Structure 1
Amino acid sequence: MTKQSRGATRIAWVLLAMLACAAGRSNAAAAAPKAEVMHWWTSSSESAAVRKFADAYRAAGGVWGDTAIAGADQAKAVAINRIVGGNPPTAAQFNTTKQFRDLIDQGSLNNVDDIAVRDRWDQLMPQPILDVIKVKGHFYAVPVDIHMSTWIWYSKAAFKKAGIAKEPATPDELFAALDKLKAAGLVGLAHGGQPWQENILFQAMLANVGGRELYLQVLRDRSPKAINSDAFKKVLLAFKRLQGYVDAGSPNRNWNDATAMLISGKAGVQIMGDWAKGEFAAARQTAGKDFGCIPGLGANVPYLIQGDAFVFPKTSNPEAVRAQKLLAATMLTPGAQLEFNKIKGALPILSNVDTSGMDVCAQAGMAILKDKTRAVGMIEVFLTPDQNGALQDVLTTYWNTRMPVEKAQKGIVSALQD
């Protein structure tokens, strides 16, 4: 073989090796599990949080396709329409409530029983969450966080300006603080006048003024006697009293814009879920230093929980199922759970995740959850979407008009009937 021919042979082998490597990379890319993930996390903190799941999925060998749709109701409607229409995403976000029960009943979701058994969900997840994701012995959703919906947030700067030295520990002390904030020329309660936000204020008053027993009698049992009681009337009056501390710009304000009022020191208090903590973090504010967090106005106030979860539309395509399984497993790894929830403001869904490095609000929440009697489902855990919508209609009308409290009680009895 001549020198020239030997050189040509070497070049040929190099070219063949390059082609083989390229083909290998192409096959590997083709084999990577591809997941279209539909969600409604579009605020700055939410977007940063969901990127942690995307990063973890890519690190595990998957291809993440992000379909973000602003607004939870809109995102859920699009997901349902696509599932029913035969063009489902790989995974779709819902809350850990009864929102996806119809999809389960219609046989439209794949279960994740193997992952749930392997990771001991029955032992490591709060019962109110298990009650909605586990149906007839099968697990149909992957919860990714625990949110408490009625935290009382307050601006340290606003409290200082108003001369409030002590953190409110009772409903009376909360209203006294709101009075001082108002007298100091500040907005007492930062609130977005939207039905779902008024629903949160109502739940806060039901839990903090009414207590655990009345909360369950009204929402779980839907007892007309409890709803018509003087104790529940006191709850509704406390709820309506909060309206005296909101500003004229409240109607239709987004929740994160209300949180921004605390961040700037313009307002003193916001009652909102712990997702608000993500907005404080994005503004580089520190829990316990720049803002305070109160999980309840009393030692035994119920800790109202729900969270976010992903469901996996029914498919028999093995590649799609592989993508779903990898996504479910990745989201529940300790690293992904911690990174996501630190930014999101929530707690990890599995109780064996080490949360010692999380902030003081998260530590308070984890301590409360050790007492299993404190964890109670938030409103949508007990009510169907139709019942919850009817309740919101009554509450919003009561909030915005001069509806007598007795009429509101009768309206709620009607709204919560089957």
Structure 2
Amino acid sequence: MAEFARLFNATGNRWVDSALAGSGTGANPVIISRILGGNPMGATQMNTGRDAEELIKAGLLTDLTDIAKEDGWYDFFADKTLLKPCEYEGKIYCVPINIHSWHWLWLSPKAFEKAGLPVPKDWNEYAADFGKLREAGVVPFGLAAGWPLNGIPQVLLAGVGGTDLWMKVYGDKDAATVRGPEFRKVAEAFAQIRDAVNPAEVVPQFADVANQIMQGTAAGNIHGDWIQGEFSLAGAVAGKDYDCIPGLGLNDRIEGGGDAFYFPKLPEGTDPAVIEAQKTLARLLVSKEAQLAFNLKKGSMPIRTDIDLSGANACMKKGLEILSSPDGLLPSGEVLLSSDTQQQLVDLNQEFFSDKSYALDDYIEAYAKIIEAAD
């Protein structure tokens, strides 16, 4: 964010942070409450998805369609589907700033060397090593408390289950598929992680997992590509100090979600200069300079490919190669599922993971019922 602030301040405007406690979508209720309560911020960041639908319907977010057309957003976006989550009834209401994906397996070469094992090439090889890693005194699967668990089941859904299963479950809301053999493999893989994780070894933050991977005390982790920000801060080199495998090494497609900026409509009487500053920021966020500076620091992929990415590390280059394929990106679960359905799945997954006596069949049936009622 400091990169955006630096560039915005250079325009003669002033960036003022109003950070919220916590991480991820936990901030959304506070953001939405402020806007609904008549105390909107000049700009706010949320994940791309359906969380802002009600604000758009209520006429509380600024229509950015004219800016998008004037600046040619439809021409330079790396994948046109990235704009879909920002569209409502043919108009654009947000600015995607990156392409993020949960669909990555991160591995520690140092940990596998310690255990006398080759670094796995995919999820199946990695999971087969859990017992040997434990015997060698290595944490098989590093995990941080709270929200980092939430993305793991969806990565397994697309990787272990396959991308067709992803679309049937999330896209078609096909509960019968959830009750079928392919989804059972996904649930079994999630249970395998549950059984491999010692609750006493769960660390407070995902940055701690990044440190475990670099130090070789944990063998690996499923996490979004933003974990690369932590590796970058530590000076770690992709392919040497850590390895990265998109799609769990089981397919060549990854989910294409990300972060986006929204611009609330400001109260009557607001200084026109502030409204102009909103437009300036919207344009700046997708500029070549801002896209390069922000994404190289954060470890995410830029939303445009007409920039010099020679400074991208080995992991970003893997992501960019997938992005170059017409079908490389899967629609984000945050786009396909409502916030309510997403939260129900989060609650179920957390409950299943925290209780090793929770039967697999009961988990599958509970999951199927959520998908059956999903909107």
**Is this a same-fold pair by TM over 0.5?**
yes
Tell me which residue corresponds to 2:2. 51
Distance in 1 between residues matched to 2:83 and 2:97, nearest whole Å = 12
One-letter code aligned to 2:177: A
Q: Deviations over 1:307-361 (max 9, x none)?
A: 1111000136422220111111112111111111111110111232321221111
Q: What is the CA-CA distance between 1:298 and the residue it aligns to? A: 3.9
Q: What is the CA-CA distance between 1:82 and the residue it aligns to? A: 1.4
One of 97, 114, 121 as aligned partner of 1:168: 121
Distance in 2 between residues matched to 1:115 and 1:353, nearest whole Å = 20
Q: What is the CA-CA distance between 1:367 and the residue it aligns to? A: 0.5
* Local SS of the residue matching 1:310: strand
Q: Which runs of 5+ in 1 are unaligned?
A: 1-49
Distance in 2 between residues matched to 1:333 and 1:358, nearest whole Å = 17
* Local SS of the residue matching 2:330: strand
Tell me which residue corresponds to 2:227. 276
Tell me which residue corresponds to 1:40. none
One of 195, 198, 213 as aligned partner of 2:149: 198
Note the aligned Cα RMSD (angstroms): 1.8
Q: Is the 8 A contact 1:153 1:293 kept in 2?
A: yes
Larger Rg: 1
Q: Is the 8 A contact 2:25 2:47 kept in 1?
A: no
Is residue 2:370 matched to residue 1:415? Answer: yes
Is residue 2:357 matched to residue 1:406? Answer: no
Is residue 2:321 matched to residue 1:370? Answer: no
Runs of 4+ in 1 over 4 A off after TM superposition: none
Is residue 2:190 matched to residue 1:239? Answer: yes
Q: Is the 8 A contact 1:337 1:348 kept in 2?
A: yes
Tell me which residue corresponds to 2:86. 133
Taking a change above 3 Å as real, the CA distance of residues 262 and 236 of structure 1, as seen in their structure-2 partners, is same
Aligned length: 367
Q: What is the CA-CA distance between 1:252 and the residue it aligns to? A: 7.2
Q: What is the CA-CA distance between 1:257 and the residue it aligns to? A: 2.1
Tell me which residue corresponds to 1:18. none
Tell me which residue corresponds to 1:179. 131
Q: Deviations over 1:363-382 (max 9, x none)?
A: 11000011121201232221
Taking a change above 3 Å as real, the CA distance of residues 253 and 415 of structure 1, as seen in their structure-2 partners, is farther
One-letter code aligned to 2:38: G
Q: Is the 8 A contact 1:98 1:381 kept in 2?
A: yes
Q: What is the CA-CA distance between 1:110 and the residue it aligns to? A: 0.3
Is residue 2:59 matched to residue 1:100? Answer: no
Is residue 2:199 matched to residue 1:248? Answer: yes
Distance in 2 between residues matched to 1:180 and 1:305, nearest whole Å = 34
Tell me which residue corresponds to 1:329. 283
One of 162, 176, 181 as aligned partner of 1:230: 181
* Local SS of the residue matching 1:349: coil
Tell me which residue corresponds to 1:79. 31
Taking a change above 3 Å as real, the CA distance of residues 275 and 89 of structure 1, as seen in their structure-2 partners, is same
Aligned-pair identity in percent equals 35
One-letter code aligned to 1:397: E
| TM-score (norm. length: structure 2) | 0.93
Q: What is the CA-CA distance between 1:76 and the residue it aligns to? A: 2.0
Tell me which residue corresponds to 1:380. 334
* Local SS of the residue matching 1:187: coil
| TM-score (norm. length: structure 1) | 0.83
**Residues 349-368 of structure 1 correspond to what in structure 2 (within 5 A)?**
349-368=303-322
One-letter code aligned to 1:103: L
Q: Deviations over 1:2-30 (max 9, x none)?
A: xxxxxxxxxxxxxxxxxxxxxxxxxxxxx
Tell me which residue corresponds to 1:114. 66
* Local SS of the residue matching 1:142: strand
Q: What is the CA-CA distance between 1:235 and the residue it aligns to? A: 0.8
Q: Is the 8 A contact 1:228 1:410 kept in 2?
A: yes
Tell me which residue corresponds to 1:44. none
Q: Deviations over 1:90-136 (max 9, x none)?
A: 00110011111111111110021123223433342434422211111
Distance in 2 between residues matched to 1:99 and 1:391, nearest whole Å = 16
Is residue 2:346 matched to residue 1:395? Answer: no
One-letter code aligned to 1:370: S
One-letter code aligned to 1:132: P
Q: Is the 8 A contact 1:208 1:301 kept in 2?
A: no
Q: Is the 8 A contact 2:100 2:300 kept in 1?
A: yes
One-letter code aligned to 1:163: G
One of 15, 21, 24 as aligned partner of 1:70: 21
One-letter code aligned to 1:369: L
Q: What is the CA-CA distance between 1:299 and the residue it aligns to? A: 6.0
Q: Which runs of 5+ in 2 are unaligned?
A: none
Distance in 2 between residues matched to 1:177 and 1:327, nearest whole Å = 48
